[in-house]
Amino acid sequence: MKSNIIKQDIKEIQDEFDKDLQTLRGKNILITGGNGSIASYLVDTFVDYDCNLTILNRNKVTNFSRLSHLLDNPKVKFLSQDVGKPFIPPQDTNIIIHAASRSNPKSFLENPLDTIDSNVNGTRTLLEHAKKNSYDLDNFLYFSSAEIYGNPVKEFVPTPEHYTGNIDCLHPMSCYMESKRFSEMLCSTFFRQHDIPTKMLRILLSYGPGMRDDGKVVSDFYTSAKNNQEIKIRDKGDATRSFCYITDTTKGILKVMFDGKSGEAYNIGNDLEKVSILKLAEKVAGVVNNNTIVKPNLKAISKPMYGEPTRDVNIDKLRALEYKPKVSLEEGLRRLDKHIEEVGW
């Protein structure tokens, strides 16, 4: 469902990228995981530019789905497909955006092999398809994650793209990180060997309309506040994070799509506003505005947990493409709140 906030967000994106988006007219675009929070913003951005969209989604898109407003659009074709299993992508594709993946820790800890399959098998299937149809392919965007860095050592925070990571491959959480890393390797190999125009997007802590109530920190805090429950923090809440509102995430993706170099990875995030987890909780409580109590555990010793997202990333490479995040955390949370008030999660 498309809330008024999403409509405003999409117009903001389209106004900024109109000249580039005009080049998509008549193009055939394949998006896996298209009903997801970030990919759905791309779908809504593209659909007004007379291109043909094929959306692959594991679960069928229904009248209650994020993209339900496009079910009757003749330019949009929806297919139900688990990309971790064998499938045949549609022919004559000009742009492939591979966004399908489990993305929250609870899900990929419960389904580690499925997590690996959707990342690795899905990516290989699409790359093989791209190799056979490379003469028609303008772009192959792979949704990776800044979590591929693992727990960076202090001298590599903020974390640049050339950092090679600090990961325990035997840890249960590594099913996600290592399969994302392997998929990036596949993308870079197909670029070198077969000249497929792959670009890897290392997205960090994106939030906004369309996100699910899935156990991530923003949704957890918001749900607690909305249900008149205390926002509980496991420690003092002094660890810092840099959150990126979904319009800035989408603009970063489009910058890479239109201006980025093939065969390379780009961090996509927000480097303007670093906040502690405690401050995040207080900001969420302030937006919900129902006297929510924020309760840190002052006795606990703050220490990073394995698999937690990278604290923040260096986005100098993205900034070189004239990218600049614009939406403050408070403004982003306000937009998220208005969206949920209108249409729910």
Q: What was the pLDDT predicted at 38?
A: 97
The predicted-structure confidence for 38-47, as pLDDT tens digits, reads as follows 999 999 999 9
Q: What is the pTM of this model?
A: 0.96
Run of H or E including 124: helix 112-132
Q: What is the mean pLDDT of residues 315-344?
A: 96
Q: Give residue for tokens 């993205």.
A: 318
Instruction: Give the confidence band of 307 by pLDDT, cuts at 50, 70, 90.
Output: low
Inform me whether the pLDDT recorded for 308 exceeds 70.
Answer: no
Q: What is the mean pLDDT of residues 171-187?
A: 96
Q: Which residue segments constitute the domains of the chain, with CATH numbers given? A: 4-206+245-271+304-326 (3.40.50.720)
Q: What was the pLDDT predicted at 300?
A: 78
Could you tell me which residue, 221 or 307, shows the higher pLDDT?
Answer: 221
Indicate the Cα dihedral angle 36, 45, 130, 144, nearest 10°: -40
Q: What was the pLDDT predicted at 309?
A: 65
Mean pLDDT over the full length of the chain:
94
Distance between CA atoms of residues 148 and 307, nearest Å = 9
The predicted-structure confidence for 279-302, as pLDDT tens digits, reads as follows 999 999 999 987 899 999 988 776
Inform me whether the pLDDT recorded for 311 exceeds 90.
Answer: no
Distance between CA atoms of residues 190 and 184, nearest Å = 10
By DSSP bridging, strand 240-241 and strand 275-276 are antiparallel
Instruction: Give the confidence band of 124 by pLDDT, cuts at 50, 70, 90.
Output: very high
Q: What was the pLDDT predicted at 86?
A: 94
Q: What was the pLDDT predicted at 59?
A: 93
Q: What is the mean pLDDT of residues 304-320?
A: 83
Q: Retrieve residue 190's tokens.
A: 């197909």
Q: What is the mean pLDDT of residues 233-258?
A: 96
The predicted-structure confidence for 58-102, as pLDDT tens digits, reads as follows 999 999 999 999 999 999 999 999 999 999 999 899 999 999 998
